[in-house]
Amino acid sequence: MNYKPNEMMTIAAARALRNSDVTFVGIGMPSAAANLARLTHAPDITLIYESGTLATKPTVLPLSIGDGELCETALTTVSVPEMFRYWLQGGRITVGFLGGAQIDKYANLNTTVVGPYDKPKVRLPGGGGAPEIATSCGEIFIIMAQGKRSFVEKLDFVTSLGYGEGGDHRERLGVKTKGPTKLVTDLCVFEPDPVTKEMTVTSIHPGVTREQIQDATGWTVKYADEVAETPAPTEKELTVLRELHARTARAHGEAA
């Protein structure tokens, strides 16, 4: 089956999730990947959204954390303070799934401003719960379309901590969780170098070249000693993902 780059990206991200995971899900592409995993290889995965919905099983993708579908299909809903203090900061969530407007080579994320903070070119939605998710979940998966405007040498603002300045900077700041372990794009998959923590390409999607990856990145890309080819989407993965998006479009119309 033919597929689009964003479908490859979503499917590759979904595959990283395990059936046993308790996952804090961001709206947008993280939500699509997490629900695809639930509808395919990880039916018992526990999905948690920032509004306090636990073990939610939406039939359509939510437009926001306040979407009624999340509460209606959840095992239960708790208050936001309980969600953050007991579940997130209590170390009960294995994976946080995030996106961002900008990312650097150490997987720090910006969702605050593009340009100077006092007079930005673009003022973004802000951090929300992402800074706490980035430091309190067992590990972080990031999903972002790759381009030089978003994959930058230096962030305009650090909203959510990845590996800081690299190396052991995260640990020196007192953060004990793993941090970003996968960065999935529409071109490839990055994982942190064990020592420097710089995001390093470990898998390239079918038909994508190293030149394309470098052209879409604002820093000099590094590659693992052995770089795999990402397995192409299966017919089942594509069918389930497309049906999920089709249901969402019927439910939400142009807003989807």
Active site members: 50
β-strands 76-77, 113-114 pairing: unpaired
β-strands 22-25, 222-229 pairing: unpaired
- At 79, the amino acid letter reads S
**C-alpha to C-alpha distances, 168 to 79, 105, 221, nearest whole angstrom:** 35, 15, 20
Burial 28-41 (b: 16+ CB within 10 A, else e): bbbbbbbbbbbbbe
Q: Where are the beta strands (DSSP E) in 73-198?
A: 76-77, 95-98, 102-103, 109-110, 113-114, 122-123, 139-143, 180-184, 188-192
β-strands 46-48, 22-25 pairing: parallel
CA pair distance 130, 100, nearest whole angstrom: 9
